[in-house]
Amino acid sequence: MTESKAETFIFAPYRLDPGQRLLSRDGQPVSLTPKEFDTLLVLVEAAGNVVGKEELITRVWPDSYVGNGSLARNISVLRKALGEDVIETLPRRGYRIKPPVASLPSNGTVSSVESARADAEALAQLAVLADVREAAPQWRRRFLVGSVSLAVLLAAAVTSRFFANTAKAHLSAKSTRPIQSILIEKRGAIDPLDEAFKLAGRDRHYLHTLYNRESNGWDRWRIITDDQNFYYRALSENEREFALQTDWTLTCVCALERGGGFADIDLGGKGPRFDIEFLQEGDRYFVALTKQISPRIEMEPKIEFPGVADVAHPHTYELRYDHLSRTASLWIDGQLMASAYPGHHQFQEGLGLMFGAAIYGDAATSSMVFRTVRFEAH
């Protein structure tokens, strides 16, 4: 993304220098990945104005389509690094930086005295802005803003106009640029809600995260149900159309503790639904592809595979879709197990990527463990 290298931003106690790609708190650097830094920079440049999700995605990932999950992940990381109150979510509108933001020019090498003077002026701006935000009536806020120096007002006006024009240009580019790829992913023991997934049913506060003694970390997410429950991330109409016109892979690194579980991709009215099922029948475990759900479940093929129950070392299951034949093939740990799977058209709601657990057979409850769930189209 294009950066504002000519100025440094201060939002106490943080200082963000785009030129050096450095975020610091009280002089100490705060570690961020490049995309996390870019996400924060867009919000800070807006200086309290709301930035829509689409614009954020366009500016942070200008050359690819990544979906809302990557943005939600970055916002979650930034909140953990800066504090939950620093970035505000405005439902159906976007995000904004909450603390007042002041800027000062980055004019190359300056003396410590000049740097201290610039910081003092920036902090004075912050103090005025904070007073303005605390003032109650809207008319009084405008009166107080008038007490800020003319230079600050002119700078704010120029910045605001530049930001608005830039936003309009990015939104225009976004609307005309075709989708080139899709990547939706649930990783490790991260809460799927923090990765822009939604939970279909009420969360019963089961113990979700699993600890791995070999890697000394929490790397799997468990979902338990006495009926069915799942996480999902819906695809847009354009995404569904794109998925049918290209090859894609649905990957599930997962294991079944008991009952039944699944990983699905539902293309809604644009195409079929493709289900990978994980099933327990007594002490036997199976991987299956769903042909029909109602009035009774029909699956073909239904492959016995003991590794389905290996919770400590989940195996890798993939559906690889070929857009020319419009069918998918099933792979387990890189080995082809079944082909020419056309999917089915029952219970389609356009929910996109789904993964969860559902009761099966004699089990009173079902429990499924997920390390990775990924849908990738390109």
Query: 283-319, pLDDT tens digit by residue?
Result: 999 999 999 988 888 998 999 999 999 999 999 999 9
Per residue in 92-125, pLDDT (tens digit) is 788 999 989 988 776 544 444 454 455 555 555 5
Q: At what angle do helices 112-134 and 138-145 cross, to 10 degrees?
A: 160
Looking at every residue in the chain, the average pLDDT score rounds to: 81
For the segment(s) 182-377, the CATH number from 2.60.120.200, 3.40.50.1450, 3.40.50.720, 1.10.20.10 is 2.60.120.200
Q: Would you kindly state where each structural domain of the chain is located, as residue ranges?
A: 7-176, 182-377
pLDDT > 70: percent of the chain: 76
Let me know if domain 7-176 sits in CATH 1.10.10.10.
yes
pLDDT one-digit tens code per residue, 231-269: 999 998 889 999 999 999 999 999 999 999 999 999 987
CA 116 to chain centre: 39
Closest Cα partner for 368 from 314, 292, 327, 303? 314
Distance CA 8, CA 22 (A): 10
What's the rounded Cα separation, in Å, for the pair 189 and 371?
Answer: 7
Same fold, 7-176 and 182-377: no
Is the model more confident about 212 or about 144?
Answer: 212
